[in-house]
Amino acid sequence: MSGAINTIIYFILSFLISTGTAALVEDTPEETAEKYFADLAAGKQQIFREYDHKNDLMEIQKDTTKDLRFKISETRIRGDVAVARVRLTTGDFSGVQKAYRQNSYRYVMENLYSESIGDKNKLAGSCLKIYKDQVAEAAESEGKNSSEIFMAMEKNADGEWQVIMTHENRRAIMGGLELPGGEAKEDTKEDLSDKLRKDTVDYVLQQEEIPAYSYDQVQVMDMSKPSGVTVEDLKMVTRYKLVGTEEKLYELEQNYNLNCLLLLAIASHESAYGTMQFHPNNVCGYGYSGFSSINDCLDTVGRVLAKNYLDSSGPYYKGNTIDSVNRTYAADPSWDSKVARKVAYFYEIISENHNRQLEKLK
C-alpha cells in the first residue's frame, strides 16, 4: 500500500511542477531579499547587469561586498509589489571616485606627451585599472558605512519575486561607491572603462588648458600663483644647462606660492640658460657666492622669492608682479621687461604643445 501512495505523491508533485502550480511554495519577499544579499556576499549575484567588463566588475563587487552585513527589519506586500526595509553595514567606498579622479588626472598629465595618449582604448584600459586599484585600496581600509534602504521587489511572469535594483540602492550596498557617468540603462550594456575615460578626459580638459599669455598679460600677472604647467611642459622650454631642472622647478611650484616660469625666466636671463655664471651654479644672479648644484641654486632662490618677495609679510615685498620683484631683486630698471618677455615666450611654446596634446584626448 505504501508503495502505491508514494507513487501517487510522485505523480502529483510532477504535475504541480510541470504546470507551474509549484509557485504555491515560492519564496516570500523576505526570503527573496535574504537570498539576494547572501548571493551578493558569496559572489553569486551580479549587481552590474548594465555594464560590460564583467570579470573586472566582479572584482569590484567582490571588494565592495566582502564586509557586507544586512538585516531585514520589515517587509510589506501590496499585490504583485513588495518592499523590504534593510539595514546595511559595509566598507566605506565613498572616497573612491575622488581618489580615482586625482590618480587618473595625474596619470594623464604625466603621460600627456606620450605617443599613446590619443589611443582611446589604451587610455580606457588604464583608467579602469586605476579605478579598480582605488576600490581595492578602500577595501583594505577600516572605514565603515551604515545606511538603510527600501528594496523593491515585484513578481515576474512566473509568479516569483525578483529584486528591482536602483542606482541609489546599489550605491548604498557597495558602501557609497559612485560609478562615473551616472546611472546606466539596463538594456544599453555600457562600457565602464570608456565611461571612466570620458570622466577623466572631461575633468582634465576643464582644468588643464594653458593660455598663451601675451607680454602685457604677463606684466600684470600675479607671480605668487602657480603656472599649472607640468614637468613635461617644462621640458619644452628649458635650454642648455637648465635641461634637467624640470623636476625641481615643478617641485618648487607645488611647495611654494610661486609661478615656476618666473624662476626659470630669471635663471634663463641671468645666466643665458646656465651657460654664463659669475659664481659656480649661481644661475639666478642671487648673492655673491656659488651653489653645490644648479638645482640647489633654484631651490634657494625659489624659496627666497616665495617668502621674501611674493609674500606680503616678506621683507622685500612690493607686490606680486615681476615689476614688483624688480624693485628689490635687480638694479637694472628694465630687468622686469626682459624677464617678462621670457615668461611670455615660455607660455607661448607650452600652450601650443600642451593644448595640442589635450586635443588628442577628445
Domain coordinates in residue numbering, the chain: 23-204, 213-361
pLDDT of residue 43: 79
Q: Distance (Å, rounded) from C-alpha 270 to C-alpha 338?
A: 10
Give the model's confidence band at 71: pLDDT under 50 very low, under 70 low, under 90 confident, else very high: very high
The x, y and z cell numbers of residue 268, run together, are: 634663463
pTM of structure = 0.74
- Which residue, among 284, 282, 281, has the nearest Cα to 264 in the 3D structure? 284
> Which residues are within 8 A (CB) of 53 and not within 5 positions of it... i.e. 6 or more apart?
128, 191, 192, 193
Count how many Cα atoms sit within 13 Å of the Cα of residue 326 in the half-sphere of its side chain.
14
Q: Report long-range pairs for 123-130 (Cβ below 8 Å, ≥24 apart).
A: 123/197, 123/200, 123/201, 123/361, 124/191, 124/193, 124/194, 124/196, 124/197, 125/193, 127/193, 127/196, 127/197, 127/199, 127/200, 128/53, 128/56, 128/192, 128/193, 128/196, 130/100, 130/103, 130/104, 130/196
116: pLDDT strictly greater than 90: no
Over range 243-261, report the average pLDDT. 95
pLDDT of residue 3: 55
Residue 13 burial (CB count, 10 A): 12
Q: Is residue 191 within 8 Å of residue 128, measured between CB atoms?
A: no
Give the model's confidence band at 187: pLDDT under 50 very low, under 70 low, under 90 confident, else very high: low
The x, y and z cell numbers of residue 99, run together, are: 581618489
Can you list the alpha helix ranges (DSSP code H) found in the chain?
2-19, 29-41, 54-65, 96-110, 120-139, 167-173, 192-208, 215-219, 231-234, 246-255, 260-271, 294-304, 322-329, 335-361
pLDDT of residue 19: 46
Q: Which fold has domain 213-361?
A: Lysozyme (1.10.530)
Over range 154-173, report the average pLDDT. 90
Grid cell 582604448 in the structure block, residue: 121
pLDDT of residue 4: 54
pLDDT of residue 8: 43
152: pLDDT strictly greater than 80: yes
pLDDT tens digit sequence for 328-355: 888 899 999 999 999 999 999 999 999 9
Q: Distance (Å, rounded) from C-alpha 33 to C-alpha 345?
A: 65
- Which residue, among 293, 296, 295, 314, has the nearest Cα to 305 in the 3D structure? 314
32: pLDDT strictly greater than 50: yes
